Amino acid sequence: MNPQVAIVVGSRSDVEVMSRASDLLGSLAVASELRVISAHRAPALLGEYIRGAEGRGIRIFIAAAGLAAHLPGVIASQTPLPVIGVPMAGSALGSLDSLLSIVQMPRGVPVATVGVGNAENAALLAVQILALADPAVRERLVAWRAAQTQQVLDDPSNQNGPD
């Protein structure tokens, strides 16, 4: 199965967190690929990767970056495909700099943004987008969400029901 989601991180230190996105995508039978490509240290390589992505079957990018967090915006500036940004923790400013760098994109270059380090929500958002055109993906997503709800209901320590 060809990857539909490209997960791009700017640093090897982000791989551990972002592997949770690829794991969740895999559990929903959505193929992905994870690459480490710095927007600052390897801009030509990044551009080449972005240009070839659609031809390889990529439909959505998930891009994780910390500090200046330019990676999601650089990708979004070079493709018509949706880009989901994941700000990463660990900066001197408590990750606020990463979050604002991704969420404050200029008009015309949108990047959907999830919470700091929230690889799982990025994966789920990618699956929701793919589900718009793929009924099988939609069915798997609906089943996954039902299972999440059931886990909450089955937890005896949960006195108030699902949140």
CB 32 within 8 A of CB 84: no
DSSP reduced 3-state for 121 = helix
pLDDT at 163: 47
- Spatial distance between the Cα atoms of 129 and 142, rounded to a whole number of angstroms: 13
Q: How far apart are CA 71 and CA 50, in angstroms?
A: 11
| CATH architecture under which domain 5-134 falls | 3-Layer(aba) Sandwich (3.40)
Q: What would the pLDDT profile of 22-57 be if each residue is shown by its tens digit?
A: 999 999 999 999 999 999 999 999 999 999 999 999
- What is the pTM assigned to this prediction? 0.92
Where the chain has pLDDT below 70, the residues are: 156, 158-163
> Are the C-beta atoms of residues 37 and 17 closer than 8 Å to each other?
no
Q: How far apart are CA 127 and CA 62, in angstroms?
A: 11
What pLDDT is recorded for position 82? 98
Domain ranges (residues) in the chain: 5-134
pLDDT value of residue 93: 80
